[in-house]
Structure 1
Amino acid sequence: MAQVYVIYSPSIDSYYIGSCSDFDERLKQHLNGEYTLAFTKKAADWQEYILFDNLSYSQARQMEVHIKKMKSRKYLVNLKQYEEMRLKLLEKFGADSSR
């Protein structure tokens, strides 16, 4: 199973969108700056913003690409605020869970 996540850093007021198979482990990697050239290395205060889980790898990648293509902070804020947007996104990619 795979997950799509949006994390937020208050110190740089930025969001990061990604997908993985173990969000908790991946968040630790972001926080520890394990990838020296990665965008998330710029901050050490990343926190979960949105998490979609119980996805196939294909669903997760498609959803991640879709969210990134939106290129909109407002879209991310609305996605967090409005459950119907999250449900519609899950429906579009054939998934059934988020937190």
Structure 2
Amino acid sequence: MFVYILFSKNIDRFYVGMSNNPDRRLIYHNIGKGGGNAFTKRAHDWQIVFTQKFVDKQSASKFETHIKTQKSRRYIKSLIKNKAPR
């Protein structure tokens, strides 16, 4: 299971999600249907800027929640900066 962060230049926003296949999930976010998210439907230029793999869904969910509760672009940018290139 992965936690991933997407970024859209068009709307200058990050999106945090969780999936067992972030690359496939990115396609759904960008086409805006078939499992896309209401928030991500506002743009079609999403790019994966961060991924982190977890051994189970519970650990991934805990980390995803942690990121979302920070409510901080600065925190997200620090995660991206300190993570090895994808």
TM-score (norm 2): 0.89
Aligned twin of 1:80: 80
For structure 2, the 5+ residue unaligned runs are none
For structure 1, the 5+ residue unaligned runs are 87-97
Cα gap change, 1:55/1:36 in structure 2, threshold over 3 Å: closer, same or farther?
A: closer
Identity of aligned residues (%): 36
Cα gap change, 1:36/1:63 in structure 2, threshold over 3 Å: closer, same or farther?
A: closer
Aligned twin of 1:49: 49
Partner amino acid, structure 2, of 1:28:
I
Is 1:26 the equivalent of 2:39?
A: no
Q: Which of the two has greater helix per residue?
A: 1
Cα gap change, 1:43/1:79 in structure 2, threshold over 3 Å: closer, same or farther?
A: same
TM-score (norm 1): 0.78
| Secondary structure of 1:49 counterpart | strand
Aligned twin of 1:93: none
Aligned twin of 1:90: none
Count of paired positions = 85
Partner amino acid, structure 1, of 2:43:
A
1:42-68 CA-partner distances (Å, limit 9, x unpaired): 000000111012431111100000000
RMSD, matched Cα = 2.0
- Look at both structures and tell me which one has the larger radius of gyration over its CA atoms: 1
Aligned twin of 1:10: 9
Give the distance between the partners of 2:80 and 2:41, measured in 1 at CA. 24
Give the distance between the partners of 1:49 and 1:41, measured in 2 at CA. 18
